[in-house]
Structure 1
Amino acid sequence: MNRSETLPTPAAIGVPHNRVDGKLKVTGAAQYAADFAADRLTYGAVVSSTIATGHIVSIDVSAALAIPGVLLVLTRKNRPQLPQAGKLYKDQVAPGGVPFRPLWDERVWYSGQPVALVVADSLELARYAASLVKVRYEATPHETDLDRALMSAVPPSTEKGGFEPPPPARGNADAMLASAAVRVDAFYTTPAEYHNPMEMHGCTVVPDEHGRLTVYEKTQGVVNTKAYLTSVFGLKDDEVQVIAPFVGGAFGSGLRPHYHLALAVMAALELKRPVRLSLTRQQMFTFAHRPQSIQRVALCAAKDGTLQAVIHEAVSETSRYEDYCDVVVNWAGQLYKCDNVTMGYKVVHLDVPTPADTRAPGAAQGFFPLEVAMDELAEALKMDPLELRLINYAERDANRNLPFSSKALRECYREGAARFGWANRPLEPRARREGRELIGWGMASGSWDAMQNEATARAILGRDGHVTVSSSTADIGTGTYTAMCQIAADALGVSIEQVSFELGDTRLPKAPIEGGSWTVSSVGSAVDAACKRLHTHLVELAREHGGDRFAKAAREDVKRAGKQMVCGTAEGEAVSIDTLLDCAGLDQLEEQASVKPHEKQQAYSMGTHSAVFVETRVDEALGAVRVTRVVSAVAAGRIINPKTAASQIAGGVVWGISMALHEHGLFDQALGRLMNHNLAEYHFPVNADIHAIDVLFVDEPDDIVNPLGAKGVGEIGVVGVAAAVGNAIWHATGKRVRDLPITLDKLFI
């Protein structure tokens, strides 16, 4: 036996650790979907449709095939016959309807739809050959204008799945609104916004001589992607492996498989060679976007500010073939206390690709009108906007008539306001200026559901004392690798350096897609459980094989100290892990655990909350807006890593500023085509647009939400920010803008 180590192991959870994968990323060692090499690798290029709707009359591929090095041009005429061609695949995030099937037939559903795939020996050759493919179309009338098609709005189909109607109305909001002393009733709009992660969607598909596929894919869920491939292509479970160790941002765009994956697999099976297919930046705008919306919010209150009625109705876009729905209006019935609430949601089918979950789907666009309307109500009441929110603070979730498992929103208001200096805010707009800049302060509330899904994790202890923990989850830049190492280290009683985490591989224990801010809650709870089982097993080995003192010791007195197990504080009472494994006849120690939501959660409403305070400066002559200061106060349960969590919130704030001032898809309605499908004309903030962002987390114990007491922070950072910016602009200028983004032309109208 060796002398025991006496230094205590520092806690890992709650400590601001650097990313454990950071060095791999900054040195270029991290491999993404289009980085993996393969022998005899080929390259694909997609040919996109140039009409919005209609039919393909003919495709001439002769010029492309005449070029040496061009191996294949796939079209609807020669694509492989799919074994499950008639079977509809219903993945974890597919909305109701018929999923888009590339090269299925001659129909064109939207501009930019893939109509052919060229595969060649090099990427440059494939893209050049794709430019030579000639497609003749028969165009039909299209509609891509939500305003023009508004009267065709219908409730989404509940029969097709993917949609749960808003909670039923309570009280009589219309009657209260009609007789109210103070009211606000207005329409607000949000535009289509597009995912633009650094890494564009792509994959590398590698078949072996037996037809088995190894697929390196940009995805937020390898398990989900594998289910898609086995279903559509009729492959067996052991014939597909999906790998995604690193994902260069996704924001919801990687929740479901997109057309590039199916095309690449078709080509790989046809050629029996590896195929790499990466979409261009322009093609990144041909799927998966936040849907545009038109929303009505009506509020009324007594003269003391007590809300008497809330009405929130929304119409958003979806495609012709699927009923995509965001949860836009439900927050209106939950955020504030009110007895008379009506919520409604409809969709308009347009000739566009199906929208998709986009960071804080529904909440990001739904909180904008709700929180601006609250500001307008405060203006009408001549009341401080924060005071109005406190007067109507909800202690229960009225949508479900349930208490909150925890809700520290009051503390967010108080601590955020104090940090920002809100008490010094003048009530009237246009009250402060410096030079030719008008200065305004605005605020808004935020909320997002705290969710948990079933997940499984495995922990393996080696002879050197190092523990490898694994689960098939993803890290889309959120810090999953690091958070899981911290959770494991705490559960094992070791330093974070003695733990590593593996993810993004379907050979690993099953995990849900990384989305909805539920990864720490779901996978983290499984990691915690697996590591605690492993530690318990190790303690029992020590008590069995460590000698008389260990055998007589209480379990809680047997602890881990580096590569040893120790018993109490006596010198010499230690046994190495290597020795214990030898005594037990084991090469390694392994435990696995699955964790799912527990029944007591059903008695509570679980969510994260925030209060966002913003300072804007508006050039009175030019209308240029600068967001110079933001304080975001967040209640998200137990914070695993304050450093990466604050980074997530700050990133959400940047996106919220982008929503408020920059982002919008611009359509040529005559062509039915998005015109600014590039990073030069699709505007979002650059470094010069972003100034001080101060993130603070309030203390919020919660023993209901999951075993760790942790809530996700991926979504909550963006919620409410656009409204706070809009409210600050009103306070600076006296000009109320209800249509995003707030560009300088709208300030001058």
Structure 2
Amino acid sequence: MTVIGRPLDRVDGRVKTTGAARFAAEHPYPGLAHAALVPATISRGRITTLHTGEASAVPGVIAVLTHLNAPELKPAPKVTPLRLSSLVSGTSVGYLQTDEVHWDGQPIAVVVAETSAAAREAAALVRADYAPAPAMVDFAAAEADARPQRGNPLMPGEAKKGDAEAALAAAPVALDLRYTTPPHHHNALEPHATTAVWDGDRLTVHDATQAIDWFRAHLAVRFGIPAADVRVLAPFVGGGFGGKVSIWPGTILAALAARATGRPVRLALTREDVYRTVGGRTPSIQRVALGATRDGKLTALVHTSVTRTGRVGGLPEQVTSQSRHLYDAENIFLRQSIVPLDLLSNTSMRAPGESIGTFALEAAIDELACELDLDPIELRMRNEPAVNPMDGKKFAHRMLREAYAVGAERFGWHERDPRPRSMRDGRWLVGMGVASAYHPSWRFAANVTVRLSADGTVLVRCGFQEMGMGGATAQAQIAADALGVPFEAVRVEYGDSALPMSPNAGGSAQTASVAGGVLEACGRLKRSLAAMARRTGGDTPETILRRANLPYAEAAAGSDTRFGRISGQVRFMANLLREQRRWVKAASGAQFCEVRVDPDTGEVRVSRWLGVFDIGTVVNAKTAASQLRGGIVMGLGMALSEETLVDPRTGRIMNAGLAEYHVPVHADIPPIEVSFLDDPDPTMPLGILGAGEVGITGVAAAVANAVHHATGTRVRDLPITLDKLL
């Protein structure tokens, strides 16, 4: 390989940095109208009266759509892992179809106007009278009502090996700890936006989505038209992180408003709209209990969690996922429980489950190391398993020992005095902490076509999503090496449902999934050229095609026919179940953190960071490092500042915007060093394990562990704010 691994610039870098790239809210259409949402102000109940007269009188208003005059919308499909596109349903609500209210912030009206300003002015004038109903919105108070979640092939449920509770009671050293994490919300650079256009019964949607094909299928169901009559375009998406996997009210209502008015309609959410109508990360309550011998061998590991969903949707999170695989405990018990609340559905947020699950597990491991007076890395290495602890399956790829060895040397871990409050830099207390990073690796079916022209250029076509991670660049590198052509000769078309089907950009699976299709199509193309050469002669693709009098040769992986899609789904599920019986696949790593804490104010500053990661083959060193740094930055926000504040009386989000929801800024971020082991996993396409989500895992725990080392104070409830250290 001569191209794969190189730190090449992104192929879309110039159009993005010069402003030439058009995002979902930037596509012009003749007669374009603008829409704004009117949110409900109760958590549960019915609308008794809607006052829309003042709104309708605002100059430029075209229509005020409510449940009394909106076009018909079909019900959302039932969620089932057997039809993956059904997982895109953000909620099960029929927007503007009934007078029911299911969460504070649910859209109860849409104003369409000639300008965005007029639409927003009018939306603020719509008033509603309600008949409220009793609502449960207090997560902490609902903990006792949580019930164990059911497992499925994509997300296992309860797991048990031996008798962990008995082993815990008998252990020479035992800890039984409780950790909590708050709700979190996405704040992508580009807020959600949709431009919807109807041409008869054909719908075109420009959307900020990371699930193009699934959006297409969902819109077809909701509007009762064939999927072939829906086109979804998303060539540029300004960040997603899971928040743009599901289809939320804004997308549906933009298309609904366009159908009702006969005009192209743009609906761009404000930051507050995003909080009110787009799901975020669930809060969690976690118990981690560890039993060990005096020399640090784990005899018991108990990890349980309580998270929430909405009554109208949301998926459970795999909070205990990493606890199935990271430590070789003799007895293990894992359980995930959920409680439905009268709140907007939760949704995926970068490493759902593992990001908050690693906080609790890795902080607890650090606490046990302190109890045993052992170095926290040494404790981890004494319990590093040779095979999967739960069932003895082989690890397809696991290099945590190597990651810790490399990281400890580069970070200067040997300089750490293990005693809390023992290290200072002037008046600052200095602490160092570590944690393991872990995220499962996935691969889904992806259809790809590859065309090699007689002039030596290559066109790769696949409807995958580009949210800033450099997907088109990576796939061009893969195709260039597979066909033996220069990187500059490859062009990639993506971001359009009219292209061959791709899975959503989620689960850190897109690069490996599309790579599998690219490699398959390139292999078929090379075999086709070889057969052609035997007939006509020629020793290069260009001469072969010229002698055959052909402008190009093309090959495909997968099929977008109805039968092809069904068979692809069947193959995916069969392959998933087969591989789950044989292997455990995951990206992993070691996170090293240094903090400085002001002893008088409790101010925490992360001063240094090193992450050493086993992500399999590194396709592009520059974009992979950027992905991992971004995950670490997001994890620092989770550790130190981010928290969605929900009023436990009303269910209303009280800090719905960047003024009061505190994401990290440049001044909060230290130099972040990222290192790869760059060793391929032989069971994955091109050896790729995935880099999008593993970077955030373990980050919050590493910070919490470093803060304890600096101050002697354990913070088990995120975020780590000043009041918890004073």
State the TM-score, normalizing by the size of structure 2: 0.94
Q: Say whether residues 1:300 and 2:291 are aligned partners.
A: yes
Per-residue deviation, 1:541? 3.6
Report the equivalent of 1:416.
407
Q: 2-side partners of 1:249 and 1:80: how far apart?
A: 32
Report the equivalent of 2:227.
237
Q: Say whether residues 1:443 and 2:434 are aligned partners.
A: yes
Q: 1-side partners of 2:300 and 2:153: how far apart?
A: 29
Q: Which stretch shifts more, 86-95 or 723-732?
A: 86-95
Report the equivalent of 1:114.
107
Report the equivalent of 1:586.
550
C-alpha offsets along residues 545-598 of structure 1, whole Å, 9 cap, x if unaligned? 34xxx4xxxxxxx45xxxxx5xxxxxxxxxxx2x64454243322111139665
Per-residue deviation, 1:606? 0.8
1:155 corresponds to which letter in structure 2?
A: P
* Residues 365 and 376, structure 2, Cα contact 8 Å, conserved in 1: yes
Per-residue deviation, 1:601? 6.6
Q: 1:281 to 1:97 in 2, by over 3 A?
A: closer
1:396 corresponds to which letter in structure 2?
A: V
SS in 2 for 1:511: coil
Per-residue deviation, 1:532? 3.0
1:242 corresponds to which letter in structure 2?
A: V
Q: 2-side partners of 1:515 and 1:75: how far apart?
A: 34
Per-residue deviation, 1:297? 0.5
Q: Which stretch shifts more, 190-199 or 72-81?
A: 72-81
C-alpha offsets along residues 85-132 of structure 1, whole Å, 9 cap, x if unaligned? 486476536399972321231121111110000001111111111111
Report the equivalent of 1:742.
720
Please give the residue correspondences for 1:113-512 in structure 2 after superposition, counting only pairs within 5 Å.
113-156=106-149, 164-208=155-199, 210-286=200-276, 287-322=278-313, 324-512=315-503
* Residues 88 and 98, structure 1, Cα contact 8 Å, conserved in 2: no
Q: 1-side partners of 2:79 and 2:427: how far apart?
A: 58
1:222 corresponds to which letter in structure 2?
A: I
Q: 1:33 to 1:100 in 2, by over 3 A?
A: same
Q: 2-side partners of 1:218 and 1:504: how far apart?
A: 10
Report the equivalent of 2:607.
628
Over 6 Å off, 4+ runs: 95-98
* Residues 461 and 500, structure 2, Cα contact 8 Å, conserved in 1: yes
SS in 2 for 1:92: helix
Q: 2-side partners of 1:503 and 1:701: how far apart?
A: 26
- For structure 1, which runs of at least 5 residues remain unmatched after alignment? 1-9, 551-557, 560-564, 566-576
Q: 2-side partners of 1:544 and 1:601: how far apart?
A: 44
- For structure 2, which runs of at least 5 residues remain unmatched after alignment? 559-567
Q: Say whether residues 1:524 and 2:518 are aligned partners.
A: no
* Residues 162 and 324, structure 1, Cα contact 8 Å, conserved in 2: no
Per-residue deviation, 1:162? 9.2
Report the equivalent of 2:98.
105
Report the equivalent of 1:24.
15
Q: Say whether residues 1:657 and 2:636 are aligned partners.
A: yes
Q: Which stretch shifts more, 276-285 or 65-74?
A: 65-74
Per-residue deviation, 1:460? 1.5
Q: 2-side partners of 1:303 and 1:489: how far apart?
A: 55
Per-residue deviation, 1:671? 2.9
C-alpha offsets along residues 259-289 of structure 1, whole Å, 9 cap, x if unaligned? 1111111111122211111111001112221
Q: 1:89 to 1:267 in 2, by over 3 A?
A: farther
Report the equivalent of 1:638.
617
Identity %: 42
* Residues 455 and 526, structure 1, Cα contact 8 Å, conserved in 2: yes
Report the equivalent of 1:92.
85
CA RMSD of aligned residues (A): 1.9
C-alpha offsets along residues 20-69 of structure 1, whole Å, 9 cap, x if unaligned? 11001001111111111111111100001112222111112122222332
Q: 1-side partners of 2:33 and 2:446: how far apart?
A: 36
* Residues 23 and 208, structure 2, Cα contact 8 Å, conserved in 1: yes
C-alpha offsets along residues 365-401 of structure 1, whole Å, 9 cap, x if unaligned? 0011100000000000000000000000011122343
SS in 2 for 1:282: helix
Q: 2-side partners of 1:182 and 1:107: how far apart?
A: 54
Q: Say whether residues 1:723 and 2:701 are aligned partners.
A: yes
SS in 1 for 2:358: helix
Q: 2-side partners of 1:461 and 1:53: how far apart?
A: 58
Report the equivalent of 2:561.
none
* Residues 305 and 381, structure 1, Cα contact 8 Å, conserved in 2: yes
C-alpha offsets along residues 659-693 of structure 1, whole Å, 9 cap, x if unaligned? 11010011222332111111011001100000111
Rg larger in structure: 1
* Residues 76 and 218, structure 2, Cα contact 8 Å, conserved in 1: no
Q: 2-side partners of 1:484 and 1:64: how far apart?
A: 49
Q: 2-side partners of 1:593 and 1:165: how far apart?
A: 30
C-alpha offsets along residues 501-556 of structure 1, whole Å, 9 cap, x if unaligned? 1111111111111110111111111112212322333344444334xxx4xxxxxx
Q: 2-side partners of 1:162 and 1:603: how far apart?
A: 14
* Residues 76 and 93, structure 2, Cα contact 8 Å, conserved in 1: no
Q: 1:325 to 1:70 in 2, by over 3 A?
A: same
2:587 corresponds to which letter in structure 1?
A: T
Q: 1:93 to 1:193 in 2, by over 3 A?
A: farther
1:739 corresponds to which letter in structure 2?
A: D
* Residues 69 and 125, structure 1, Cα contact 8 Å, conserved in 2: yes
Q: 1-side partners of 2:58 and 2:597: how far apart?
A: 57
Q: 2-side partners of 1:218 and 1:661: how far apart?
A: 29
Q: Say whether residues 1:48 and 2:26 are aligned partners.
A: no
C-alpha offsets along residues 131-156 of structure 1, whole Å, 9 cap, x if unaligned? 11121112233332211121111123
2:52 corresponds to which letter in structure 1?
A: V
Report the equivalent of 1:573.
none
Report the equivalent of 2:594.
615
Q: 1-side partners of 2:87 and 2:375: how far apart?
A: 43
Report the equivalent of 1:65.
56
* Residues 89 and 248, structure 2, Cα contact 8 Å, conserved in 1: no
SS in 1 for 2:148: coil
* Residues 660 and 740, structure 1, Cα contact 8 Å, conserved in 2: yes
Report the equivalent of 1:535.
526
Report the equivalent of 2:565.
none
Q: 2-side partners of 1:176 and 1:432: how far apart?
A: 37
* Residues 143 and 339, structure 2, Cα contact 8 Å, conserved in 1: yes
* Residues 35 and 267, structure 2, Cα contact 8 Å, conserved in 1: yes
Report the equivalent of 1:570.
none
Q: 2-side partners of 1:339 and 1:270: how far apart?
A: 62
Per-residue deviation, 1:652? 0.6
